Amino acid sequence: MLERLPGFRDFYPEDCARRDFLFRVWTEAARRHGFRRYDIPTLEPLELFTEKSGPEIVSQLFNFTDKGGREVALRPELTPSLARMVGARVATLKKPVKWFNIAENFRYEKPQEGRLRSHFQLNCDIFGEPGPAADAELIAVCLACLRAFGLGPEDFALRLSDRTLWTLLLEAMGIEGTAAMEVLGIIDKLERTPREETLKRLQPHFGDASEDFLGQFGMLMALHEFGEMADFMRSLAPNAGIREKTETRLGVWRELLDALDAMELSPFIRIDLGIVRGLAYYTGFVFEVFKLAPDGPGYAGRALAGGGRYDHLVSKLGFPPTEAVGFGMGDVTMTQFLEEKKKLPPIIEAPDVFIVAAGEAERRAALGLAGRLRAAGIRTEYALRAPGFGKQFRLAGQCGARLAVVVGTDELAAGNVRLKDLASGGESVVPLSGAPAAVRVALEEGIGSA
RNA sequence: GUGGUAAUAGCUCAGUUGGUUAGAGCACUGGUUUGUGGUACCAGGGGUCGCCGGUUCAAGUCCGGUUUACCACCCCA
């Protein structure tokens, strides 16, 4: 038997209905925040991804040589394509550019929980605005995309961190450039790495003082109040230059937190410098959204969403420098989360009416009626192979139709059809010619059983 | 890429120390029912027991390999 490729999913109608629901909620949330939808090709030149992430990325791509000899790859993410689109027209696009997209992404990785070889991702990005107002706006739409499902601060939290602050901290400790990037990488994995292993990795950068530095990282990451964090950062500044840069950055923090507070989003925000994110291209505020652990204060599972500022990416791809901030949110983890929280509504795919025809003679009239009802926008079903009368009613009940329309011998002879409200059992007789209008009224008001 | 666990009907699973023709519930199809349903009753279809090989008189059951899935790593959004 032929099987699916590993890491891919079939979507049966009920799965598709659920996915449509997810996408619809996301789309509406994004549009409410003024984001416009764009789209990009599924297949891209391989170079687009190696340019951004280096040649190692190829091992994680679905890539091949096409019939024209081009090296191509299925997109693993859409940020590079997006940066290209924006970069190509950056001079004429009205700023800020606020765009969103929901698309399938592919990665050649070993499939595991919450992580397949194909998944759909919502992406929202803002280009052309360097100030924290853009970060606040982006965080607002990200939170909205979760809240729109009925999830609240008791369900999830956004952990907010800052690459700029980390860079300053490391600079204060005498670590800069690529060494700083490496240390950030170690910090990124701190939560899931044993202490001894972390110390070993810090050794090349801090030598015998590794233990002290790790202690300071730990203290910083444990601070979740802005005031405490600010004091801690000030206390570490070794000279006036870094002190001034730190003070400036803390001012930007204050602006961001103030905007989030004004939008009444503070209950969702946790200052948490433990987040640095693996990607090298992030430059400023970064964040990840986690579901809260059912018991206790911690977080559970894989990140539901993640994002941040990446001001250098567009220029790195060869376009004019353009500030950018964005986030992504995947359908796999999101669906799991919604199921867990019972926030997926029952999917109703039932027709509005089911037509019951008495016999062959009535069937022509029934088909004609079906056409007219459907033209009037009414979801209409009937049995393709007309079984007995009782059987047709059974089908009407099973499919969940709200109304049965009976095209009966006596009714038809008088130019009528009979409507039956399948919930109340109430019936009424209406003229065949006026059936669509009568059905519409019956769907809205129901038919009393009296 | 490494290790652990698992794989029996569309789904959830049972299947004794290896022993006749591999079962249940749900789902599906038909009938009871050619003028009243969803929720009654009866019947039916559906399986190379993931795949390949081995041990044995005999394998769903034991052994080896392989594929896939899940879990933990590695890597990474």
Q: Is the CB of A274 under 7 A from strand B?
A: no
Instruction: Give the nucleotide at minimum CA-to-C1' distance from A408.
Output: B35
Cβ-based contacts (< 7 Å) between A 217-256 and strand B: none
Instruction: Give the nucleotide at minimum CA-to-C1' distance from A397.
Output: B38
Average confidence (pLDDT) over A109-138: 91
**pLDDT at A14 (0 to 100):** 86
Average confidence (pLDDT) over A116-143: 95
**pLDDT at A271 (0 to 100):** 94
Cβ-based contacts (< 7 Å) between A 407-426 and strand B: 408-411, 418, 420, 422-423, 425
Which tens digit of pLDDT belongs to each residue from A245-262?
A: 999 999 999 999 999 999
Specify the CATH superfamily of domain A353-445: Anticodon-binding domain (3.40.50.800)
Q: Is the CB of A60 under 7 A from strand B?
A: yes
* Amino acid letter, A304: L
pLDDT band at A135 (very low <50, low <70, confident <90, very high): very high
Instruction: Name the residue with higher pLDDT: A174 or A150.
Output: A150
Does residue A82 surpass a pLDDT of 70? yes
**pLDDT at A133 (0 to 100):** 97
Say whether A353-445 and A13-340 share the same fold. no
Q: Is the CB of A306 under 7 A from strand B?
A: yes
Q: Are A235 and A169 in contact (CB under 8 A)?
A: no
Q: How far is the CA of A395 from the C1' of B40 (A)?
A: 16
Instruction: Name the residue with higher pLDDT: A233 or A347.
Output: A233
Q: Which nucleotides of B are covered by protein (CB under 7 A)?
A: 1-2, 28, 30-39, 48, 50, 67-77
User: Model-level pTM?
Assistant: 0.90
Q: How far is the CA of A397 from the C1' of B41 (A)?
A: 19
Q: Is the CB of A189 under 7 A from strand B?
A: yes
Instruction: Name the residue with higher pLDDT: A300 or A65.
Output: A65
Task: Kindly list the domain boundaries of chain A, sorted by start residue.
Answer: 13-340, 353-445
Q: What is the three-state SS of chain A?
A: CCCCCCCCCCCCHHHHHHHHHHHHHHHHHHHHCCCEECCCCCEEEHHHHHHHHCHHHHHHCCEEECCCCCEEEECCCCHHHHHHHHHHCCCCCCCCEEEEEEEEEECCCCCECCECCEEEEEEEEEECCCCHHHHHHHHHHHHHHHHCCCCCCCCEEEEEEEHHHHHHHHHHCCCCHHHHHHHHHHHHCHHHCCHHHHHHHHHHHHHHHHHHHHHHHHHHHHCCCHHHHHHHHHHHCCCHHHHHHHHHHHHHHHHHHHHHHHCCCHHHEEECCCCCCCCCCCCCEEEEEEEECCCCCCEEEEEEEEEEECCCHHHHCCCCCCCEEEEEEEHHHHHHHHHHCCCCCCCCCCCCEEEEECCHHHHHHHHHHHHHHHHCCCCEEECCCCCCHHHHHHHHHHCCCCEEEEECHHHHHCCEEEEEECCCCCEEEEEHHHHHHHHHHHHHHCCCCC
Instruction: Give the nucleotide at minimum CA-to-C1' distance from A420.
Output: B36
Q: Is the CB of A345 under 7 A from strand B?
A: no
What's the rounded Cα separation, in Å, for the pair A161 and A270? 9
Does residue A1 surpass a pLDDT of 60? no
**pLDDT at A185 (0 to 100):** 81
Average confidence (pLDDT) over A359-373: 91
pLDDT band at A201 (very low <50, low <70, confident <90, very high): confident
* Amino acid letter, A256: L
Instruction: Name the residue with higher pLDDT: A449 or A410.
Output: A410
Instruction: Give the nucleotide at minimum CA-to-C1' distance from A423.
Output: B38
CATH number at A13-340: 3.30.930.10
Q: Is the CB of A261 under 7 A from strand B?
A: no
Burial A153-179 (b: 16+ CB within 10 A, else e): eebbbbbbbbbbbbbbbbbbbebeeee
**pLDDT at A23 (0 to 100):** 95
Interface predicted TM-score (ipTM) of this complex, two decimals:
0.84
Average confidence (pLDDT) over A46-57: 80
The tokens 């409507």 sit on which residue? A419
Weakest-pLDDT range from A55-69, A252-266, A323-337: A55-69
Cβ-based contacts (< 7 Å) between A 379-408 and strand B: 385, 387-391, 393-394, 396-398, 404, 406, 408
Q: Are A433 and A369 in contact (CB under 8 A)?
A: no
What share of chain A has pLDDT > 70, as a percent? 97
Q: Round the average pLDDT of chain A to a whole number and report it.
A: 89
What's the rounded Cα separation, in Å, for the pair A208 and A36? 53
**pLDDT at A296 (0 to 100):** 64
Does residue A450 surpass a pLDDT of 60? no
Does residue A295 surpass a pLDDT of 80? no
Closest protein CA to C1' of nucleotide B74, residue: A110
Instruction: Name the residue with higher pLDDT: A72 or A203.
Output: A72
**pLDDT at A365 (0 to 100):** 93
Q: Is the CB of A113 under 7 A from strand B?
A: yes
**pLDDT at A274 (0 to 100):** 84
Of the candidates A278, A307, A302, the one whose C-alpha atom is nearest the C-alpha of residue A290 is A302
Instruction: Give the nucleotide at minimum CA-to-C1' distance from A59.
Output: B75
**pLDDT at A414 (0 to 100):** 93
Average confidence (pLDDT) over A107-123: 86
